[in-house]
Copies of this chain bind each other. A is one copy, B any other.
């Protein structure tokens, strides 16, 4: 049975992947992204440079690898289609952020929150990472459009969905930058809500039915 086999192998694979990424993030924050070579990461993780490239196609992916996008897409697919696009997407983004940053107070930074902040700071301050991260929004945008479940047949509908999704993601990114500037002291969902309100109007994320 390839089932147990693959899951067991997949577990080992995911484990080494996590290990390599952890060492990479540590070195990057310590010495800086550009000043750290892939060989450095490999040595710190106790593997060969080749192995690093097998798990992460590019050096940037050592920082950018995550799967928070799936979270957002699921929430959108589960949302009610009666609301306007930006409201559906905005609410999904806020809720996903709330799930990610956990429920703790702003003062006690959980380990998860610290991890997110470290990655975020790297992404913002390093041009190469910032660029690739913004480009990753492309894939996320497409995932959101698919999750909206609109008629894929009408190109005009698809276009409108893409425009709404990209604008929401841009507002999200602005909120993330702001959150990192505040060292995560503020509540991320609130910051996102403010960004969305500034772009789309206060009413779009206001308390209403379905939430």
Q: Tell me the A residues contacting B by CB distance below 8 Å.
A: 85-86, 127, 130-132, 134-135, 137-138, 159-164, 166-171, 173-175, 177-178, 194-196, 198-201
- In the complex, which residue of chain B has the Cβ closest to the Cβ of A135? B131
Rounded to whole angstroms, the CA-CA distance of A85 and B202 in the bound complex is 13
Task: Looking at the assembled complex, report how far the CB atom of A87 sits from the nearest CB atom of chain B, in whole angstroms.
Answer: 11
- A200's partner among B161, B167, B173, B194 (CB-CB below 8 A) is B167
Most buried by B among A175, A177, A199: A199
Give the complex CA separation of A109 and B135 in angstroms.
30
A127 nearest CB neighbor, chain B only: B135
A199 pairs with B198, CB closer than 8 A? no
State the CA gap A167–B168 with chains docked (Å): 7
Query: Which B-chain residue is minimally distant from A159 (CB atoms)?
Result: B178
Known: A169-B170, A170-B169. A163 touches B199 (CB 8 A): yes
- Asked whether, in the complex, the Cβ of B162 is within 8 Å of the Cβ of A174, the reply is yes
Question: Could you say which residues of chain B place their CB within 8 Å of the CB of A127?
Answer: 135
